[in-house]
Amino acid sequence: MAHDPITQSVLALLREKDPQVAEHIAQEARRQATTIELIASENHVSAAVMHTMGTCLTNKYAEGYPGARYYGGCVHHDAIESLAIERAKQMFGCRFANVQPHSGAQANQAAMMAMMEPGDAFCSLVLKDGGHLSHGMKINFSGRFFRPFHYPLHYAKDHPEHERIDYDAVRRVCMEVRPRMLLCGYSAYPRVIDFARFRQIADECGAILMADVAHIAGLIVAGVHPSPFPHAHVVTTTTHKTLRGPRGGLILCNDEEIAKKIDKAVFPGAQGGPLMHVIAAKAVAFGECLSPGFKAYGKQVLKNASALASALASCGYRCTTGGTDNHLMLVDLRTRSEHLSGADAEKWLESAGIVCNKNGIPDDPRPPRVTSGVRLGTPAVTTRGLREEHMGMIAAWIDRVLSAGLANDGSIGDVAAAVRREVSALCEQFPLPA
């Protein structure tokens, strides 16, 4: 966003006040402007969203909720937060929204605290199969204060639903455990979630259904993925992935009693003063999500993801589950070479201006710091305006770089530099929002 005049004015001020920070921001602006962002959990916000976070709203403490603050001087903050709440409810077609969580993990923490007591059992998908650390990782609050039990995917390679959610197994685990909560929604799962099926299982075993839609929230709002409502009792999400807003969290529900418990769990249960400058940016982003153009954006995200998965398959790479229904794909690198790891692929691709993250694949034999796969997503490149025809170019660049790395003949540096120049030229044609 180096071409953004407001960013330039901020940098001009910082160069006088703190040249070291100014230089790092300038370099990061150049990095984002000249690289292809394929991390599925990242996006490029509009200038309006970005600069709302840099306003005087950051000066104010506003503990409490609109109309019930513990500090004076909150009249405008009440109006802004109320606007964010109303827009969130309109986006998801629900009755209640809490826009205060600082992150998706804190939204999950508050929702779990509201719905469970310490030591209660819940069921979720394990992290290594596509879940999230706040879905029961032992060293996370979710695994320390509650008792996680995990349902599996279909592991049999000859099964038609290989690497997809095994709904029969979900039911078996839940009927055995009788959890207080059943959790669905994932960090690295490329297929549509059957929320109605999950609710049926939750009702049968007497569980509360919680849907963490952090990754697919924007697709839900755009109408290209089924909604968790009216099936889920509680819905949590981040606001910065496919919703294309500031970094933060959001909790939604339709039940007034649950909403009251959630409000108490967020404040004072999990955090103190809300970040009003971020809540204002959420309101701006939600307004953008409600615009007609956002539906077109969501549709293009899916088209680009499908095109990228197909192009990678043509280059000899296997996407888990055989492809994708949403914005992301998990690429099993072992089909290209048993010697290729996610850690190597991430490093080599970044040197070529293609940013992604190493990621475990279902039943991955390698440790999390190495992995056998990478996770790729199309929200950010779609924001730039790239379309299906560009996904073939990206897949070809990925294959060129990884092939050079595998050759181990010293060519990786030259190939990465050449691809880096081509990537930069494409980015010039499709600049970041300003």
Q: 69, 171, 241, 244: which one is catalytic?
A: 241
The Cα 112–Cα 262 span in angstroms is 9
Residue 297 annotated in active site: no
Q: Strands, E, within 191-248: which ranges? A: 208-212, 234-238
Give the Cα separation of 187 and 360 in Å (integer).
11
Contact by Cβ (8 Å): 252, 92: yes
Cβ-contact 180, 207 below 8 angstroms: yes
* Rounded CA separation 23/182 (Å): 47
- Name the catalytic one among 42, 63, 78, 86: 63
One of 87, 247, 358, 375 is an active-site residue; which one? Answer: 247
| 82 exposure class (CB count in 10 Å sphere: 0-12, 13-18, 19+) | middle
Q: Is 247 a catalytic residue?
A: yes
In the numeric block, the tokens 């455990």 are attached to 177
Active-site annotation holds for 378:
no
Catalytic pick among 15, 31, 60, 61: 61
Distance from C-alpha of 354 to C-alpha of 248, rounded to nearest angstrom: 25
Q: Is 318 a catalytic residue?
A: no
Maximum distance among all Cα pairs of the chain, rounded to whole angstroms: 67
Whole-angstrom Cα distance, residue 322 to residue 301?
A: 18
Contact predicate 324/38, CB 8 Å: no
Q: Which candidate in 238, 239, 382, 383 is catalytic?
A: 238
Catalytic site includes residue 237 = no
Which of the residues 81, 163, 212, 344 is marked catalytic? 212
Give dist(CA 227, CA 93) in Å, integer. Answer: 9
**Positive or negative, the Cα torsion across 204, 107, 121, 167?**
positive
Q: Is 81 a catalytic residue?
A: no
Query: Which positions are catalytic?
Result: 61, 63, 212, 238, 241, 247
